[in-house]
Structure 1
């Protein structure tokens, strides 16, 4: 009898959804351009101003990104976020001393990454941010 009740409970959860115990997130997507051109393969980070887990995404060839809070959880914490955008990738040298990955130099000015001036508010539901960066 207990096994049947437990099975019924599991089926009910699957059909109507169990409540999530994680923090409330707002979905976040957008585009990044640098001097009017899409910025591919850039890491876009949303760092909560009040503290908490940073959420990130990577731009595609057209500069589009989708932010993920954790594996399988799209979005970012609600509230104000400092946004950082970077293209830098460190050079990787293998055990044999050869360069395995030449890395990528930073294309984005510090005011959009290390010393970010970008602040956006993530609200419940869907959030879209177009980040139009300039190199000058």
Structure 2
């Protein structure tokens, strides 16, 4: 929702002047939380994660997401490109499964990170930042390819971690 104030020779009443002052103090919004610019890096075992997407999931508000670049960096978007993320502490998911064929997915990070309920990841956003760090670990594992077998038109999950 965009904010606009009267332009031209419009006459402000006392009530109208109060609205102008209020809007200039709090800014315009569509009723949601404050969204601030957020960018950073995702690492796995200390090295940049080179493939995937990050999702930050504020409760009761729009998710913020970004593609993770080949250098591990991301810039979150909630409604318009690069606008950031809502202030607060939020669960995070890292989607790092690359479809390499209709029967196989290469996992660049453990599958547990793909769901905010199993990732055990959260971020706390207090204001604009360009150095948010999200650290993942293989916990002794390594990248792997998960294969699916087709049997009678049904996909069956194959080997994987």
* TM-score, normalised with respect to structure 2: 0.59
Q: What is the CA-CA distance between 1:109 and the residue it aligns to? A: 1.5
Partners of 1:73 and 1:61 in 2: CA distance:
18
Indicate the residue corresponding to 1:20 in structure 2. 28
Structure 2 contact 98–108 (Cα < 8 Å) conserved: no
Q: What is the CA-CA distance between 1:89 and the residue it aligns to? A: 4.1
Partners of 1:39 and 1:58 in 2: CA distance:
11
Q: 1:1-136 maps to which residues of 2 (within 5 A)? A: 4-5=8-9, 19-22=27-30, 23=32, 24-48=34-58, 50-72=59-81, 74-90=83-99, 104-114=105-115, 115-126=118-129, 128-136=131-139
Partners of 1:31 and 1:105 in 2: CA distance:
21
Structure 1 contact 88–103 (Cα < 8 Å) conserved: no
Q: What is the CA-CA distance between 1:76 and the residue it aligns to? A: 0.8
When the two chains are superposed, the root-mean-square deviation of aligned CA atoms in Å is: 2.9
* TM-score, normalised with respect to structure 1: 0.68
Once structures 1 and 2 are overlaid, which stretch shifts more, 124-133 or 78-87?
124-133
With over 3 angstroms needed to count, the CA separation of the structure-2 counterparts of 1:38 and 1:4, relative to structure 1, is same
Structure 1: segments with no counterpart, 5+ residues: 7-15, 94-101
Greater relative CO, 1 or 2 (CA 8 Å, sep 6+): 1
Q: Tell me the matched-pair count.
A: 115
